[in-house]
Amino acid sequence: MSRVDEVDDYTFLNHPQQGSSGYLLGSDDSSSNQAWLERRQQLLEERRKIEERTLESSKMSLGALYEAESTGIETAQALVHQREQLENTERNLDTINNMMRQSQKHLNAMKSIFGGFKSMFSKNNDQANKPTPILPVENRTKSVLASNLENIQREATQSSAKNHPALANRGLDTSGFRFDDSDGPMSPTSPKGHSANRSQVIEQQLDRNLDEMGLGLSRLKNLAAGLSQEIDEHNDMLPRIMMKAERAEDTLQYQNRQINLQLRK
């Protein structure tokens, strides 16, 4: 005979009622249910820790990505500024060399006093000797790096300072990384919150982080390509500038010797 059958009617009726389940007596089933509930709570706690670690990992990855992009932007801005300086230097050297070509024509004309003035002030000669115009720096073709920087800055104006990465060393959007009881009854760490709702909140934040990482990696890739091309173009400009500077120096020394010879006569 079971344990329930051994209980008399008086004992059964005097046992306290347990909720909507009626009159229940203590048994091994209650202890097994309690063990199952404890195990379930343990699994939910382990799941919560895994979700938080995963979200924290995505936060750290975003932070590293933003830091790399911020460094890349600073480097790109420095290279763009350096390019402007190199172009200004090259333009000035072109102007100097053009002026020296004009000066050389005048020196050649001075060798013959009687014939030199006529050719030097001839209208046709001035037209022929007009220096080749040099395009101003701002009218030259924009570099790939400068275009990439403009795209990033344009993207910054279209998104809030809180959510846009890298620029101006902004803070990260950590609304999904930390939870507290002040978030209300649906807060993932609030005792009133449900694990399903909490997991959904974390999943949504993780998806946003992964999407932002994808966009950030794409921006970083374009930035790296622009930096590489910009450095190559700088390497091409430097030998040209050096050659033009040496040409201007040689021409100046040659013209000084010519002037000294003319003055000795």
d(Cα 72, Cα 82) in Å, to the nearest integer? 15
Q: Residues 111-135: what's their mean pLDDT?
A: 51
Least confident of 5-14, 198-207, 238-247: 5-14
Q: What is the pLDDT of residue 194?
A: 58
Cα separation, 176 vs 188, whole angstroms: 10
- The string of pLDDT tens digits covering residues 167-191 is 444 444 434 333 333 343 334 444 4
CA distance linking residue 10 with residue 99, whole number of Å: 123
Q: How far apart are CA 37 and CA 50, in angstroms?
A: 20
Q: Reduce the secondary structure of 35-69 to three states and give it as a string.
A: HHHHHHHHHHHHHHHHHHHHHHHHHHHHHHHHHHH
- pLDDT for res 144: 74
pLDDT range class, residue 41, cuts 50, 70, 90: confident
**Averaged pLDDT of the chain:** 73
Which of 121-130, 137-146, 185-194 shows the lowest mean pLDDT across its residues?
185-194
Measured in degrees and rounded to the nearest 5, phi and psi for residue 133 equal -65, 145
Backbone torsions φ then ψ of 178, nearest 5 degrees: -125, 140
- What does 157-181 look like in DSSP terms, one character per residue? HHS-TTTS-SGGGPPP--TTT---G
**What is the spatial distance between Cα 191 and Cα 68, in angstroms, rounded to a whole number?**
39
Of 132, 125, 70, nearest to 95 by C-alpha is 132
Which tens digits make up the pLDDT trace of 58-76?
A: 989 989 988 998 898 899 9
Enter the pTM of the model: 0.58
pLDDT of residue 233: 92
Question: DSSP string covering the chain, please?
Answer: --HHHHS-HHHHHHSPB-GGG-B----HHHHHHHHHHHHHHHHHHHHHHHHHHHHHHHHHHHHHHHHHHHHHHHHHHHHHHHHHHHHHHHHHHHHHHHHHHHHHHHHHHHTSHHHHHHHHT-HHHHHHTPPPP---GGGSPPPHHHHHHHHHHHHHHHS-TTTS-SGGGPPP--TTT---GGG-TT-TTSTTS-HHHHHHHHHHHHHHHHHHHHHHHHHHHHHHHHHHHHHHHHHHHHHHHHHHHHHHHHHHHHHHHHHHHHHH-
Instruction: Show me where the domains of the chain are located.
Output: 57-264
pLDDT of residue 43: 87
Q: Residue 140: which pLDDT band, with cuts at 50, 70 and 90?
A: low
pLDDT of 125 higher than 70: no
**Per-residue pLDDT, 161:** 41
Question: Given this model, what pLDDT does residue 9 score?
Answer: 55
35-62 mean pLDDT: 88
What are the φ/ψ torsions at residue 30 (nearest 5 degrees)? -65, -40
Spatial separation of the C-alpha atoms in residues 46 and 107, rounded to whole Å: 90
Give the HSE-up count for residue 158: Cα atoms under 13 Å, Cβ half-sphere: 6
pLDDT band for 265, please (50, 70, 90 cuts): low
27, pLDDT greater than 70: no
**Mean pLDDT throughout 154-173?**
49
